[in-house]
Amino acid sequence: MSRRNIAKKRPIKPDPIYNSKLISMLTVRILKSGKKGLAQKIIYQALDIIKNKTQKDPLEILEKAIRNATPLVEVKARRIGGSTYQVPMEVRAYRGTNLALRWMTKFANTRTGTNMATKLASEIIDSSNENGNTIRKKEETHRMAEANKAFAHYRY
């Protein structure tokens, strides 16, 4: 991280099939050792599975899942006078989406199943129905922020 100037935010290019920036953000989260084609294939297979299971538009279900999983507040460690406090902070929209996608891929990875596409599809469906590990993580984050509300005046 440079001390001199702030890194410029790169524009996100939409994915080739659905023309969605959300899917290209998800591709980057699933990406392993530069295999972008494989990551895209996994996502498209997962979206096909979602379409077959729910008979609805998979892009709408993905958006709903991410909306449900996006946290509104989080806690950040802040050191004041030799002691560290967990200070609740509001989450900006981009960071919230990023956290939701990160949690979704993490919990899809830890699921038991045959391949990543089915695991990702079931995690997305669970999140859109407001249950599953991703939603549990969001609620846990909100509980932590609620418990540390007393330190909200240390916000910077």
CA dist 132 to 6, 68, 81, 124, Å?
37, 11, 39, 9
The CA distance from 48 to 67, in Å, is 20
Is residue 2 situated within a structural domain? no
Taking the CA atoms of 57, 61, 66 and 72 in sequence, report the sign of the dihedral they define.
Answer: positive
Is residue 43 situated within a structural domain? yes
- Give the phi and the psi of residue 80 in degrees, each rounded to 5: -135, 120
Is residue 14 situated within a structural domain? no
What tokens were used for 70? 């996006």
The pLDDT of residue 7 is: 86
Is residue 100 situated within a structural domain? yes
Radius of gyration over every alpha carbon of the chain, rounded to an integer in angstroms = 18
Is residue 64 situated within a structural domain? yes
What's the domain count of the chain?
Answer: 1
Is residue 13 situated within a structural domain? no
3-class SS letters over 31-53: CCCCCHHHHHHHHHHHHHHHHHH
Q: What is the pTM of this model?
A: 0.90
Convert the pLDDT of each residue in 86-127 to its tens digit.
999 999 999 999 999 999 999 999 998 889 999 999 999 999
Convert the pLDDT of each residue in 1-14 to its tens digit.
678 888 888 899 99
Is residue 33 situated within a structural domain? yes
Is residue 84 situated within a structural domain? yes
CATH of the domain at 101: 1.10.455.10
Can you give the residue range of the structural domain that contains 47? 21-154
Convert the pLDDT of each residue in 18-62 to its tens digit.
999 999 999 999 999 999 999 999 999 999 999 999 999 999 999
The CA distance from 88 to 99, in Å, is 16
Task: Report the interhelical angle of 21-30 vs 36-54 (nearest 10°).
Answer: 120
